[in-house]
Amino acid sequence: MDLETIEREAVARLQSVGSLQELEQFRIEYLGKKGKVTSLLKDLKNIPPEERPVFGKRVNELKEKIERLFETKREELQKLAEREAQERLRVDVSIPGARRKVGHTHPISKVLEEIERIFVSMGFDVVEGPEIETTWHNFDALNTPEWHPARDEHDSFYITKDLLLRTHTSPVQIRTMLERKPPIAIISPGRVYRRDYDATHLPMFHQVEGLHVDRDLSVAHLKFTLEEFARRMFGEKTKIRLRPSFFPFTEPSFEVDVFLPSHGWLEILGAGMVDPNVFLNVGYDPEEWTGYAFGMGVERIAMIKYGITDIREFVRNDVRFLSSY
Chain residues binding ligand PHE by CB under 6 A are: 168, 170, 247, 250, 270-272, 293-295
Determine phi and psi for 154, rounding to 5 degrees: -75, -15
Closer residue to ligand PHE in complex, CB, 59/211: 211
Closer residue to ligand PHE in complex, CB, 73/166: 166
Whole-number minimum distance, CB 96 to ligand PHE, in Å?
A: 52
Closer residue to ligand PHE in complex, CB, 40/281: 281
Contact by Cβ (8 Å): 274, 210: no
Q: Of 136, 132, 247, nearest to 193 (Cα)?
A: 132
Whole-number minimum distance, CB 247 to ligand PHE, in Å?
A: 4
Nearest residue to the partner ligand PHE, using Cβ: 295
Neighbours of 9 (CB within 10 A): 14
Contact by Cβ (8 Å): 124, 185: yes
Whole-number minimum distance, CB 220 to ligand PHE, in Å?
A: 17
Radius of gyration, alpha carbons of the chain: 43
Closer residue to ligand PHE in complex, CB, 29/116: 116
Closer residue to ligand PHE in complex, CB, 70/119: 119
Whole-number minimum distance, CB 107 to ligand PHE, in Å?
A: 21
β 184-193/125-126 pair status: parallel
Q: Of 230, 210, 231, nearest to 273 (Cα)?
A: 210
Provide the b/e sequence for 249-287 (b: ≥16 CB within 10 Å): bbeebbbbbbebeeeeebbbbbbbbbbbebbebbebeee
Q: What is the 3-state secondary structure (H, E, C) of 4-42?
A: HHHHHHHHHHHHHCCCHHHHHHHHHHHHCCCCHHHHHHH
CA angle 155, 156, 162 (to 5 degrees): 135
Whole-number minimum distance, CB 167 to ligand PHE, in Å?
A: 7
SS3 category, 273 = strand
Whole-number minimum distance, CB 186 to ligand PHE, in Å?
A: 12
Alpha carbons 61 and 218: distance in angstroms, whole number: 115
Determine phi and psi for 229, rounding to 5 degrees: -60, -50
Closer residue to ligand PHE in complex, CB, 128/318: 128
Whole-number minimum distance, CB 246 to ligand PHE, in Å?
A: 10
Whole-number minimum distance, CB 270 to ligand PHE, in Å?
A: 3
Closer residue to ligand PHE in complex, CB, 26/294: 294
Closer residue to ligand PHE in complex, CB, 234/294: 294
